[in-house]
Amino acid sequence: MSSRRPRNRRPAPAATARRPGRRHRETATHLRVRVMPYGDRLLLRVSGEIDIDTAPLLRSALDTALDHGACRVDVDMRGVTFCDSTVLHVLLHARTKAADGRVELALAPGDRLRRILAITNMAHLFAPLALPVRP
């Protein structure tokens, strides 16, 4: 008896569809960050969903804004429709980077982010940003 495999086995068919349970990364459609300079400040308007897939986009935008040379960076997150705990890591990183660069960082959280900040007792770490009420 031979220990070789029979040669009549067919190769497995190539997978053409995505595997169930895997998320497709469409970062651009789930998170939008607009940067608007005004005077010696920068305003970042963040809208959409912040999760493990989109957090790097937000972090990159905040890093770029903090390296821009503005004396203050305002972050309007009232348009965020979903966020999980990954947003805390991004915001704490931005807070540390702002402190190191002597840049003021102010935050206008939406309802969802405000709740996460309250639950984790981190709201006091960010300067509040007073913006007009959206229509």
Distance CA 45, CA 123 (A): 19
- CATH fold for domain 32-124: Transcription Regulator spoIIAA (3.30.750)
| pLDDT (tens place) for every residue of the chain, 135 residues total | 555 655 555 554 444 444 444 444 444 468 999 999 988 899 999 999 999 999 999 999 999 999 988 999 999 999 999 999 999 999 999 999 999 999 999 999 999 999 999 999 999 999 998 776 554
CB 94 within 8 A of CB 116: no
